[in-house]
Amino acid sequence: MSKVIGIDLGTTNSVVCYLEGGEPVVIPNAEGSRLTPSVVGFSKTGELLVGAIAKRQAISNPDRTISSIKRQMGTNHKVKIDGKEYTPQEISAMILRKLKQDAEAYLGTTIEKAIITVPAYFTDSQRQATKDAGTIAGLEVLRIINEPTAAALAYGLDKGQDHTILVFDLGGGTFDVSILELGDGLFEVKATSGNNKLGGDDFDQRLLEYLIKEFKKSSGVDLSKDRVAMQRVREAAEKAKIELSTLQQTAVNLPFITMDAEGPKHLDISITRAKFDELTEDLVELTMGPARRALQDSGLEAHQIDKVILVGGSTRIPAVQEAVRRLLGKEPHKGVNPDEVVGLGAAIQGGVLSGDVKNVVLLDITPLSLGIETLGGVLTKLIERNTTIPTSKSQIFSTAADHQTSVEIHVLQGERAMAVDNVTLGRFTLDGIAPAPRGIPKVEVTFDIDVNGIVNVKAKDMATNKEQRISITSSIGLSDNEIDRMVKDADKYAAEDQKRRELVEAKNQAEQMAYSAEKLLKDLGDKVPSEQAEAAKSAAAETRTAIASGDINKIKAATEALTKIVDELSTIMYNEAQAKANSQEQSGQDAADETIDADFDVEKK
Amino acid sequence: MEEQKKEDEVQPQSDATHIAQVAELHAKLLRLQADMDNMRRRHQREKEELGYMAAADCIYQLLPAMDNFDRAVKLLPAGDWTQGMVMVHKQLQDILQCLGLEPIAATGAFDPELHEAVAIDEDSTDPENSVTQELERGYKYRNRVLRPSKVRVSMGGCKIE
Ligand SMILES: Nc1ncnc2c1ncn2[C@@H]1O[C@H](COP(=O)(O)OP(=O)(O)OP(=O)(O)O)[C@@H](O)[C@H]1O
Ligand SMILES: [Mg+2]
């Protein structure tokens, strides 16, 4: 079955989304943008242009550029270009076709079906025109849904218990308020209101006028007659507005904005959020009227609204959010990108209709990490928390002592660095390992978590293929609270744990070095001058004393000194081997240099 | 032990049901695998795209400073200080060029792929729809339009009312 896309066919911009693994995602267009301007144009040579490219020629080719066609949907309006007439649905179809083609290119499959959103106040004929536009574009329109409904779907409100939802949509050029009622998983529109000539552009305009006025005050130059300067100021105004949604203050910097007899002039004006709020106060107030009207029409009081959703880029303006909060006495829902929610919701509806949503198996994740205890009481994680299950992972380990014939696998769950601070899930022993120097045997440990969350741990001696396993079902027995506490603890003790871990690592390294020194001394026997042998012996002994002291600085210093001696011994060993015409294997070298993933807890037999 | 228990739980079912179930599961599996495969390919593409975007965005953010430098250099009075500034300006241009930034030519016919019309030129006698002035330089980054040139376009002598 082919994918179903969800399309927010906007007045200013359009968005196309689809469902990927049960999650709605925005599909970027061929130019790499998530928003496509709802603009269609024909170049002077008659070529069809859609989106940003069409917008670029709007000024030089206004007769052949069409924007805001959405306002004409369902009317008998005709667009006449080069003697040819187009209906609004034909123009909309050109936008839809680009969205479809770009989505196909991005997804690498053909797309035949779509959900398209329309404002809640659209009449039947406007809806029919939108559907026809889809058909002309080669799309089977599975359903036309209301923009506020799509937004509510994107917020997952269809699953909730809350029955009354107010959707506040302030975009670039239009403002809509809708009140929805949820019953049996379906949304019913109770009331709509709005102002189709109010949006972010008006906020830009206010800021622009302010900048022009301030510049005139300080420089005496009126920029409003300079089209090029105005273009720069307009862009800077929108940028400043967007910045003021997160910052308390911003500066508009436009060097060389103009030139007079005295030389170049620069525009450099600071604007505080308070100033911006003051300049746009009445615009914000303008949104309150329709919101009150919608409440009135639905026969509801503000406190009877269970959820408030913000849609449209301009609802990022703090003063707008504050006004909504004050009017309704509750915190509005945020989180999803307000300029993308409608498209995302349309994709969810598409998934529901095509059965994609049902087909999505809800995959679980492991709430905590899983691993085993290794040398020095450290937890070595094999599976990190938040890994999607089913999953499996293997890692090779080795022994910590010479001639160790068995290893104990201590299976742990948790986030802390040291084994003792985590939860034991089980233990088992793999024995029958052929006696060998430490670090030589290879034991493969495999963790496997199946769909039901059952953890199977297997240890296999790579030399003999002998294996031992354990199956643990209790890993999911922890309550959410316990899991939460364990994750929080890991953060709380992170610094402390890090220190302990460093100490263990230093001890392990020191131990390894002392072992190498002793082994080299034994292997080389009288080939080492007795003075040097004595020095090596005492350095090794000192290292062991340092290990026992538990002082990381002492351990590191002793290890460093011992490393130098081991290097010298290794050189003797190497020369020795060379002398034997390379016929002998360099076993001493092996012990010192072999890289080992980790060592098991020492368990002597 | 455990396997034993599982087997006990399985209810006897007709072959037909089994076959239908297997077919359904198989179809689901194939879809999932296809999804995975497509996702992997898309991921690869996205990774490359991301690398491009990260660099492109960084350079894009630098362009306004470059624009102002262009303006400054054009307006500076002649002199040794200016000459030094002009050299630094040139150096910056060269560095950006080495990084893959390439100025867009703003001459000849207006092309919406490369140019953005911000004003019209009613008095120009140039042929209709040709670029008469570059108001802000446009750039391509690694052969893709990073920012179109802002230009003034000739109306070929005819006025727009
Ligand atoms: N962070 C922000 N702060 C303030 N305004 C913003 C922010 N981000 C985007 N905007 C504004 O949001 C507007 C665009 O919003 P959106 O994309 O929702 O509009 P639209 O759906 O295309 O418009 P319409 O619904 O009128 O067709 C622009 O005016 C833009 O400046
Ligand atoms: Mg909108």
What are the structural domain ranges in chain B? 1-99, 102-161
Structure tokens belonging to residue A184: 């049996």
Residue pLDDT, tens place only, B98-120:
999 999 999 999 999 999 998 88
Per-residue pLDDT tens over the stretch A352-361: 888 766 555 5
Rounded Cα gap, residues B153 and B115, in angstroms: 10
Q: Is residue A347 predicted with pLDDT exceeding 80?
A: yes
Q: How confident is the model at residue B49 (pLDDT cuts 50, 70, 90)?
A: confident
- Quote the tokens at residue A164: 């009354």
Asked if the ipTM is above 0.85, the reply is no
Give which of A294, A344, A338, A45 is closest to A177, Cα–Cα.
A294
Q: Across the interface, which of B28, B112, B113 has its CB nearest the CB of A359?
A: B28
**Alpha helix (H) residue ranges in B76-148:** 80-98
Q: Using a CB cutoff of 8 Å and minimum separation of 24, what contacts does B65-68 make?
A: B66/B92, B66/B93, B66/B96, B67/B136, B67/B137, B68/A255, B68/A256
Task: List strands edge to edge, sheet with B149-154.
Answer: B115-121, B149-154, B131-136
CA angle A412, A415, A417 (to 5 degrees): 85
Q: pLDDT band at residue B1, thresholds of 50, 70 and 90?
A: very low
Q: How much of chain A, in percent, has pLDDT values that exceed 90?
A: 52
Q: Name which residue sits closest to atom 20 of ligand 1, judged by CA.
A: A171
Interface of A with B in 201-230 (CB under 8 A): 227-228
| Residue B111 CA from chain centroid, whole number | 17
Cα–Cα–Cα angle for A106, A107, A110, nearest 5°? 110
A164 and A300 in contact (C-beta within 8 Å)? Answer: yes
Checking if the pLDDT of A201 tops 70, the result is: yes
Q: Is the pLDDT of residue A603 over 70?
A: no
Are A509 and A558 within 8 A, CB to CB? no
A81 neighbors A94 (Cβ within 8 angstroms) = no
Higher pLDDT, B152 or A336: B152
Helix (H, G, I), strand (E, B) or coil at A485: helix
Phi, psi of A407 (to 5 degrees): -125, 145
Is pLDDT larger for residue B6 or for residue A489? A489
Does residue A344 have a pLDDT over 90? Answer: yes
Please tell me whether residue A181 adopts helix, strand or coil conformation: strand
Check pLDDT > 70 for residue A581.
no
Give contacts of A 230-249 with B, CB under 8 A. 231-232
Beta bridge partners of A456: A448, A471
Contact A443, A428 (CB under 8 A): no
Of A53, A60, A259, the CB nearest to B153: A60
**Pocket residues for ligand 1 (CB within 6 Å)?**
A 10-13, 171-174, 199-201, 238, 241-242, 245, 312-314, 316-317, 339
CATH number of B102-161: 2.30.22.10
Cα gap A81→A96, rounded to integer Å = 19
What fold does the segment set B1-99 form as a domain? Hemagglutinin Ectodomain; Chain B (3.90.20)
Residue B118 and residue A49: Cβ atoms within 8 Å?
Answer: no
Question: Chain B: which residues have CB within 8 Å of chain A?
Answer: 2, 28, 31, 35, 38-39, 41-42, 49, 53, 68, 71-72, 75, 110, 112-113, 115-120, 128-129, 135-136, 148, 150, 152-153, 160
- How far is Cα A484 from Cα A481, in angstroms, rounded to an integer? 5
Using CA atoms, how far apart are residues A566 and B105, in angstroms rounded to an integer?
68
Q: Report residue B61: phi and psi, to 5°.
A: -65, -25
C-alpha span between A590 and A575 (Å, rounded): 15
Residue B148 pLDDT level (bands cut at 50, 70, 90): very high
| pLDDT band at residue A362 using 50, 70 and 90 as cut-offs | low
Ligand 1 geometric centre to CA of A159 (Å): 28
Closest of A350, A345, A342, A361 to residue A3, by C-alpha: A350
pLDDT at A229 over 50: yes
Q: Could you identify the residue written with the tokens 């008006």?
A: A202
Mutate to test the interface with B, among A34, A48, A56 (most CBs of B within 10 A): A56
Has residue A593 got a pLDDT over 60? Answer: no
Does the distance separating the beta carbons of B128 and A108 come in below 8 Å? no
Asked if A58 has any chain B CB less than 8 Å from its own CB, the reply is yes
**Ligand 1 nearest atom to the CA of residue A176, by list position:** 25
Q: Where in the sequence numbering do the catalytic residues of A fall?
A: 8, 70, 147, 169
Question: What whole-number distance in Å separates Cα of residue A205 and Cα of residue A513?
Answer: 73
Q: Is pLDDT above 70 for B7?
A: no
| The two three-digit tokens of residue A364, written as one number | 């679980």
CA distance A332 to chain B (A): 32
Strands A65-67 and A140-146: unpaired
The answer to whether B1-99 and B102-161 have equal CATH topology is no
